[in-house]
A and B are shown apart, each in its own frame.
Chain A
Amino acid sequence: QVQLVESGGGMVQPGRSLRLSCAVSGFTLRSYAMHWVRQAPGKGLEWVASISYDEIDKDYADSVKGRFTISRDSSQNTMYLQMSSLKTEDTAIYYCARAVVEWIQCNWLDPWGQGTLVTVSS
């Protein structure tokens, strides 16, 4: 059974850092592109970052470029989102999602994890 479980969320002060994890099971992480998507409270979805199946390509939303870094450890079946210089507008539920098709850069996202809440506040 394919499963994605996010963790690492919490409350953090502006300017600080936080690392989110997405632990996967039921499939081989190294064969799929993976994505992070966020949703501010009561708002719509915003794509944040993606990593290609071969880790060669990493792409970011303009709003997080230079502050967030996506990575993965296939031996641990875990993807990460390192977030630094956090701003109040980064407050959101962060979801990880897998690409539908393996071995290509696929941007059809399914399944998704249940999300982890990040609150940036002083």
Chain B
Amino acid sequence: AIQMTQSPSSLSASVGDRVTITCRASQGIRNDLGWYQQRPGKAPKLLIYAASSLQSGVPSRFSGSGSGTDFTLTISSLQPEDFATYYCLQDHNYPLTFGGGTKVEI
């Protein structure tokens, strides 16, 4: 199975900060990667698919980049509602595998 290594596991930031989260795949996965946001006590929500495509309804401050083995999720200006845990998910092949998550805290 493809291993997804996400970093950092947690970070502290302030409103207005630029935040970057990375995900590394154990083998090349082209651009077959999505990013998900999970607020406490809530179900996950898709932010980015195909590494860099913004899901409908997601604010433009979220962006994704990368291809092959290294991927990045960037929040250009952190808002109060963005404090959550973020996960990457590779869908290059089965079994689908998530990264370990990054908790964004104040």
* A interface residues (Cβ-Cβ under 8 A, vs B): 35, 37, 44-47, 50, 59-62, 95, 97, 100, 107-115
- Cβ of B99: which chain A residues have Cβ within 8 Å of it? 44
Q: By the criterion CB–CB under 8 Å, are A62 and B95 in contact?
A: yes
A109 and B43 contact, Cβ closer than 8 Å, known pairs A45-B101, A47-B89? no
Q: By the criterion CB–CB under 8 Å, are B43 and A112 in contact?
A: yes
* B interface residues (Cβ-Cβ under 8 A, vs A): 1, 32, 34, 36, 38, 43-46, 49-50, 55, 87, 89, 91, 94-101
Q: By the criterion CB–CB under 8 Å, are B97 and A100 in contact?
A: no
Q: By the criterion CB–CB under 8 Å, are B96 and A107 in contact?
A: yes
A47 and B46 contact, Cβ closer than 8 Å, known pairs A62-B1, A100-B55, A109-B34? no
Please tell me which one of the listed residues A46, A59, A108, A114 contacts residue B43 in the complex, with CB atoms under 8 A apart.
A114
- Give 26 A-B contacts (CB < 8 Å), ordered by A residue: A37-B44, A44-B98, A44-B99, A44-B100, A44-B101, A45-B38, A45-B44, A45-B87, A45-B101, A47-B95, A47-B97, A50-B94, A50-B96, A59-B94, A100-B46, A100-B49, A107-B96, A108-B34, A108-B55, A108-B91, A109-B44, A110-B45, A110-B55, A111-B45, A112-B43, A114-B43
